[in-house]
Chains A and B, each alone.
Chain A
């Protein structure tokens, strides 16, 4: 993990309150800025696809969902997507409380919230797979609706999968003493990443299901 690169282990050893802490705080700020810039680059990536979808929707077909083979495609299942959205937003909240409990050295509650986050993330992915299997919008290559939907939600699902792996790796690190309640940059980065993934879904949920 990037966490361990600059400083070996985030928890560090010895010299607390001295030179070691100064170095840690300086490198932490730089790593944080780098991570936020990474998230900004991801915003740019998603934005380009989102604007492509908006362009297609407004200029390529006269009605939406588009007409394919003489019939208008159905809307996606908003009911199921709303439940799946709550699952993902809920995981964002549990991740926030996992980090807060780590900061307050409450390890049992940290473990609880961390695993809730991971399980909710997996549940979201399962829901997404179910939706892919049942969405009757013509597949990836059939029309602009299917192409946009599967590309954007697939890219988001990939981010969620990476996020789940990221969180599991972080949990393993916390069990091995890589972090303590004063030095936990990896957990901060993981929380920001997970919130980011949630917020991207807010936009996609609106664009594909509510608009």
Chain B
């Protein structure tokens, strides 16, 4: 598929930015805590922010590359 189409592209992009920002704010709040649950939360929030970056890449059409048509 070549990028995203129309309204879905806009929703994914805006939603991805909003979720990314709040995930980073949450991550900053956890940063100085050192419990096991806090450390696991840091890792998981960071990976969730990475997920938002993947959504951006999909929204901008950077990924996926090649392959068949669209289902």
Question: Residues on A close to B: CB < 8 A?
Answer: 29, 32-33, 36, 39, 64-65, 72-83, 85-87, 89-90, 92-93, 96-97, 100, 134-137, 188, 191-192, 195-196, 198-199, 201-202, 205-206, 209-211
Contacts and interface: CB of A to CB of B under 8 A. Distances in A.
B57 A202 contact: no
17 contacts: A74-B71, A75-B1, A75-B69, A78-B4, A79-B1, A82-B12, A82-B59, A85-B12, A86-B19, A90-B15, A92-B45, A136-B71, A192-B41, A195-B48, A196-B44, A198-B51, A210-B63
B43 to A, nearest CB: 8
Interface of B is mostly: helix
A199 B16 contact: no
Contacts of A92: 19, 23, 44-45, 48
Interface string B1-33: 100110011011001101100110010010000
Nearest to A91: B19
Q: Size band of the B side of the interface?
A: 35 or more
Given A32-B36, A77-B71, A201 B64 contact: no
Contacts of B11: 83, 86
B47 to A, nearest CB: 4
A37 to B, nearest CB: 11
Contact of B36 (A33, A72, A77): A33
Contacts of A198: 44, 47-48, 51
A100 B29 CA distance: 10
Across the A-B interface, the 5 shortest Cβ-Cβ residue pairs = A86-B15, A195-B44, A202-B51, A82-B12, A79-B8
A51 B60 CA distance: 28
Q: Pick from A36, A93, A135, A211 the residue with the most CB of B within 10 Å.
A: A93
